[in-house]
Amino acid sequence: MADKTLAEQIQFELQFMGMMGMCGRVEAADKAYIKAQELTAELIELEKLNAALDWNDWHDKLSEDIEAENSEPVETKTDYCNRMGFDM
């Protein structure tokens, strides 16, 4: 089942769990439920990682656009406060 996506694998395990439960095979249904839970946890971690990567890509692109537009590096808060004479 390795050529299937995580979502497809989860779907299969849940369908299998339901079928085994209807047949009275509680032990097999429990194993399918546990496998579905493990796959779901893996899917959640991958989605979190993907969201973090998307955020970093977006932030980097925005910073590049701002720097290109200003043709100067983006000033940090610390640099601004120092330039304006504020104590930090």
Give the tens place of pLDDT for each residue, 2-30: 689 999 999 999 999 999 999 999 999 99
Q: How do the domains of the chain map onto residue ranges?
A: 6-84
CA distances to 4, 8, 68 from 35, rounded to whole Å, are 15, 13, 49
Predicted confidence (pLDDT) at residue 75 exceeds the cutoff of 70: no
Which pTM was predicted? 0.58
Rounded-to-integer distance, Cα 20 and Cα 12, Å: 12
The tens digit of pLDDT for each residue in 33-68 reads 999 999 999 999 888 888 777 777 777 777 776 666
